[in-house]
Structure formats: C-alpha cells, structure tokens
Amino acid sequence: MDPAVQIPVCHQCGVDDFLIFESFTPAAGDTPAMANYTCSVCESFAGHFVPAGWLPPGQGK
C-alpha cells in the first residue's frame, strides 16, 4: 500500500477516538479518498489519503 495512504489516527495521542473530521473527499478514479481532521484533545491537524472503503464515523454504512 502507498505509505501516503493511512487510516486516520492522531499521531500525538496514538488513537482515533477524538478526531473531528473536517472534510472527506471520496475516491475518484485512481485517486484514493482523502480526509482532513483535527484531534479534539491535542488539536493537531492532519490530512492525507485514506484506504479504500474507509469512511468517517457516521457516514456510509
């Protein structure tokens, strides 16, 4: 898997329990889905590609 593709997790806290997703762009063609998120505990921000099939909590399913 492309190292730029990761499941969202706070790298400060090491968990995904406190993430607030600010944007999610579904996959399109060969471009993976992308998520931007902030951790509500330490306020660190991250944005990167996410694995196929991953959806923010509360979306899809």
The contact set with Zn ion (CB under 5 A) reads 10, 12-13, 39, 41-42
CB of 16 to Zn ion, least distance (A): 9
Contact 40/20 with Cβ under 8 angstroms?
Answer: yes
Q: Where are the beta strands (DSSP E) in 6-54?
A: 19-25, 33-39, 45-50
Nearer to Zn ion, 19 or 33 (CB): 19
Nearer to Zn ion, 32 or 39 (CB): 39
Of all residues in the shown chain, the one whose CB is closest to Zn ion is: 39
CB of 38 to Zn ion, least distance (A): 9
